[in-house]
Chain A
Amino acid sequence: MQVNISKRVEQLAPSGIRAFFDLVLNMKNVISLGVGEPDFITPWHIREAAIDSLDQGYTSYTSNKGMPELRKQICTFLKHRYGMSYDPEEETLITVGVSEGLDLVMRAILNPGNKVLVPEPAYVSYSPVVELAGGKTILLKTDITNQFKLTPQQIDKACVKGVKALMINYPCNPTGASYTKKELQAIAKIIKKHNLLVISDEVYDELTYEFDHTPFASLKGMKEHVIYFNGFSKAYAMTGFRIGWACGPSKIIAAMTKIHQYTMLCPSITGQIAAREALKNGFKSVHDMKNEYNRRRRFIVKALNDIGLECHSPEGAFYVFPSIKNTGETSMDFAQNLLKQKRVALVPGTAFGASCEGYVRISYASSYDNLKEAVTRMKEYLHGKKI
């Protein structure tokens, strides 16, 4: 039988680096700086809570919106941490990671032809979720000269007819860039001016090193404009539990919940119980992990610049996004040669957008010993190329 795949899916740009990923996954004895998740195992008290819940027979569905206790805890946490007020019943939805939330919000707000501003580089799912929902993306390019940050002028200029929303992610995967309160306030003015929605992915918020993180929704007058996304994966090293949340205007959350209840039903109850324990007693572990990442960040930024790869100092997350332009190689060639010759894995910048040619993403969520060894091998590689 001849099966035709939907036009929308067929038109989605295929991931050009799938083959490279397969190459890495099949190779042994690799030092990997290519991983987009913490290298810590979920703290024991959280794992123990999950085990205990299974022991007690918590194996059922939960409310579509997520366990009421967890939603309440999240809202209390946001109130204490950032002074934000959200209603756990009407303005909060527990999702299967932030990824599900981003898909839901796009399907909830977009009509065919609506446009969404998406920064580049950005996390790989940003453009696809817009396009799958029938929207169009307008890419806003950032680079090392502005520390990979969007500027208010750039957003203002891009606001042509039909632009409905801006996606923003800070601290950013893949660049580690983040915004100060002042920088965000300047962007908020443009948001007001064009009456945009802001899809704000702040899953790395707890890993901010240079200043205090400011949620976009906490800015004056912004709550009604913002759908705020966060989750447990990065701060609590819980990627495999797949628990995130969305907070925003009740009308949008209700629309998202409608889709979520037909497609996902609810995230796993084990994950939700683990998340409750993380919020209750996890702060110390977050603090310890953050200190450790910060040390590695200082080390890697200096080490990369020392071996001749220009690297800005990122304010958050656990990534650096150095330029490899002086090697004369494309990102993909650099990544492949480094992997084959020196057994170091990293992600070519082009994975995060065509304009990121000449950059690579390095994750420092790897042990200090690994980082040291990887830098030594990269140095050897560059020496071989007389750099």
Chain B
Amino acid sequence: MDEILEILSNDARITAEEIAKLTQKSVDTVKKTIKKYEKNGTIIKYKTIINADLVRDSNSFVRAIIEVSVSPQKDAGFDHIAKRIYSFPEVTSCYLLSGAYDLLLVVEGENLQTVSNFIASKLSPMAHVRSTSTHFLLKKYKEDGQILKKKPQGKRLNISY
């Protein structure tokens, strides 16, 4: 991976000037490269990883992982049905998988009721959806490569040879 992307993937707020210092490239080159990545869709979005447990009342927020078996359609394969499903805002992630089922969804809602309602009234009855299997998520330990816990203080001495 390009070093600029590597740096940005770890800190989206770092300035082009700083990246230039870290990579020994000119500020102009860094800016142009980032523009190029934004334009061609390599960089999709800059977002913040938030530990939701700390900001939301966990009683009013639930998340479910749903395995979905679907019947692929002639010519469109899985893409068409996947689009119908992932377009719901309740669906925060959607993956096509090999194995026992086809689509893996992450669905978020305010409570058990809203998520159940979405499954019962929107997802399951949908044409081409053959079956669903829902797992409610109990605790998040790690997300997108980040351990969702405050890092422990460094244990090094402040000075050594």
Contact = CB atoms under 8 A, between A and B. Distances in A.
Nearest to A335: B159
B22 A36 contact: no
A347 B159 CA distance: 8
A37 B3 CA distance: 25
Given A291-B3, A291-B6, A295-B7, A25 B157 contact: yes
A295 B23 contact: yes
B45 interface: no
Contact of B156 (A39, A291, A295, A298): A39
Interface residues of B, number: 14
Contacts of A291: 3, 6
Interface in A285-323: 291, 295-296, 298-299, 302-303
B145 interface: no
Residues of A in contact with B, size category: 20 to 34
Contacts of A267: none
A345 B7 contact: no
B160 to A, nearest CB: 5
B158 A32 contact: yes
A124 interface: yes
A302 B20 CA distance: 11
Contacts of A368: 22
A345 B156 CA distance: 13
Contact of A124 (B22, B154, B161): B161
Contacts of B157: 25, 35
Nearest to B19: A295
Contacts of B3: 291, 295
A238 to B, nearest CB: 13
A49 interface: no
Contacts of B24: 298
Contacts of B158: 24-25, 27, 30, 32, 34-35, 345
Contacts of A303: 21
Contact of A302 (B6, B21, B156): B21
A290 to B, nearest CB: 12
Contacts of A124: 161
Given A39-B154, A291-B6, A295-B7, A25 B21 contact: no
A35 B23 contact: no
Given A37-B160, A124-B161, A298 B154 contact: no
Contacts of A37: 156, 160
Most A-side CB within 10 Å, residue of B23, B154, B158, B160: B158
B21 A36 contact: no
Interface in B104-161: 154, 156-161
Interface of A: 21, 24-25, 27, 30, 32, 34-37, 39, 123-124, 173, 291, 295-296, 298-299, 302-303, 345, 347, 351, 368
Interface of B: 3, 6-7, 21-24, 154, 156-161
Given A345-B158, A368-B22, 9 more contacts: A30-B158, A32-B159, A34-B158, A35-B156, A291-B3, A298-B21, A298-B24, A347-B159, A351-B161
16 contacts: A24-B158, A24-B159, A30-B158, A32-B156, A32-B158, A35-B157, A37-B160, A39-B154, A123-B161, A124-B161, A291-B6, A295-B3, A296-B22, A298-B21, A298-B24, A347-B161
